[in-house]
Structure 1
Amino acid sequence: MTQDTGRSGTPNVVVVTTMKDEGAYILDWICHYKSIGVSDFVVFTNDCSDPTDHILRCLHRMGVVEHRFNRVMRRGPHKSALMWAEYEPKVAGADWVLVVDVDEFLQINTADGTLPGLLAERQDADAVSFVWRIFGNAGVGTADHPAVPQAFVRAEPEEGQADEHRFFKTAFRNDGKFERMGVHRPFLAVAPEEVNWQLADGTRLPQNELEGVLYVRGSYGYSAAQLNHYALRSRDGFLNKKARGRANHFTASIEPGYWHKFDRNEEEDRRLADNFAAALEIKEDLLRDASLREYHEMAQIWHRRRGRKARISDEGQAFLKAMEESRKNA
Structure 2
Amino acid sequence: MRRSAIAYKIWKYFMSPEAHSTVVAIAKNEGRYIAEWIAYNFAIGFDRIIVFSNDSTDETDRIVSRIRARDRRVLLIPWPSLPETSPQVSAYRHALRIVDTPWIACLDIDEFLVPFADGSVGGFLKRIPDDVSSVHINWRNFGSGGRISADYDFVTKTFFHCADPHWENHHHFKTFARTKLATDAHIHTIWVANGRQVLSDFNEFEMYNRGMSDRIAHDGIQINHYQSKTFEEFRQRMLRGDANYASDHPRDHSRERFALLDRNEATDMTIAMFEARFDAEYKRLIL
Q: Under TM normalisation by the shorter chain, which class is it? A: 0.7 to 0.9
Taking only aligned residues, the RMSD between alpha carbons, in angstroms, comes to 2.2
CA contact (8 A) 1:245 1:254 kept: no
Q: Percent identity?
A: 27
- What SS is found at the alignment partner of 2:149? coil
Partner in structure 2 of residue 16 of structure 1: 24
CA contact (8 A) 1:14 1:97 kept: yes
Partner in structure 2 of residue 285 of structure 1: 284
Partner in structure 2 of residue 184 of structure 1: 188
Aligned residues: 264
Deviates more, 1:53-62 or 1:38-47: 53-62
1:214 is aligned to 2:205? no
Partner in structure 2 of residue 106 of structure 1: 113
- What SS is found at the alignment partner of 2:270? coil
- Describe the superposition over 1:4-60 as per-residue Cα deviations: whole angstroms up to 9, x where unpaired: xxxxxx871101110011111112111111111100011111222211110111123
Per the TM alignment, residue 221 of structure 1 is displaced from its structure 2 partner at its CA by 2.3
Counterpart residue identity of residue 54, structure 1: R
Per the TM alignment, residue 213 of structure 1 is displaced from its structure 2 partner at its CA by 4.4
2:68 and 2:170 map into 1 onto residues whose CA distance is 38
Partner in structure 2 of residue 231 of structure 1: 227
Partner in structure 2 of residue 242 of structure 1: 238
- What SS is found at the alignment partner of 1:126? strand
CA contact (8 A) 2:19 2:48 kept: no
Q: 1:64 to 1:56 in 2, by over 3 A?
A: same
Deviates more, 1:95-104 or 1:66-75: 66-75
Structural mapping, 1:293-308, within 5 Å: none
- Describe the superposition over 1:133-171 as per-residue Cα deviations: whole angstroms up to 9, x where unpaired: 11011222222213112111011112347xx86100000
Per the TM alignment, residue 281 of structure 1 is displaced from its structure 2 partner at its CA by 1.3
Q: 1:64 to 1:175 in 2, by over 3 A?
A: closer
Per the TM alignment, residue 236 of structure 1 is displaced from its structure 2 partner at its CA by 2.4
Q: 1:86 to 1:216 in 2, by over 3 A?
A: closer
Partner in structure 2 of residue 59 of structure 1: 67
Q: 1:273 to 1:165 in 2, by over 3 A?
A: closer
* Structure of larger gyration radius: 1
- What SS is found at the alignment partner of 2:171? strand
- Describe the superposition over 1:65-98 as per-residue Cα deviations: whole angstroms up to 9, x where unpaired: 110100322223212322332343xx1x110010
1:166 is aligned to 2:143? no
1:118 and 1:165 map into 2 onto residues whose CA distance is 20
1:43 to 51, 59, 62: 51
- Describe the superposition over 1:230-252 as per-residue Cα deviations: whole angstroms up to 9, x where unpaired: 01212222232133222224445
CA contact (8 A) 2:235 2:253 kept: no
Per the TM alignment, residue 282 of structure 1 is displaced from its structure 2 partner at its CA by 0.7
Per the TM alignment, residue 126 of structure 1 is displaced from its structure 2 partner at its CA by 0.5
1:83 to 89, 93, 105: 93
Partner in structure 2 of residue 272 of structure 1: 271
Q: 1:213 to 1:20 in 2, by over 3 A?
A: closer
Counterpart residue identity of residue 92, structure 2: L
CA contact (8 A) 2:138 2:171 kept: yes
Partner in structure 2 of residue 131 of structure 1: 138
- What SS is found at the alignment partner of 2:282? helix
1:84 and 1:263 map into 2 onto residues whose CA distance is 33
TM-score w.r.t. length of structure 2? 0.84
1:39 and 1:21 map into 2 onto residues whose CA distance is 24
2:179 and 2:89 map into 1 onto residues whose CA distance is 19
Counterpart residue identity of residue 96, structure 2: E
Q: 1:275 to 1:59 in 2, by over 3 A?
A: closer
Q: 1:255 to 1:235 in 2, by over 3 A?
A: closer
Specify every segment of 5 or more residues in structure 1 that has no aligned partner in the other structure, as ranges: 1-9, 289-330
CA contact (8 A) 1:150 1:274 kept: no
Per the TM alignment, residue 117 of structure 1 is displaced from its structure 2 partner at its CA by 1.1
CA contact (8 A) 2:22 2:48 kept: yes
Q: 1:223 to 1:82 in 2, by over 3 A?
A: closer
CA contact (8 A) 1:11 1:119 kept: no
CA contact (8 A) 2:141 2:263 kept: yes
- What SS is found at the alignment partner of 2:175? strand
TM-score w.r.t. length of structure 1? 0.74
Deviates more, 1:239-248 or 1:117-126: 239-248
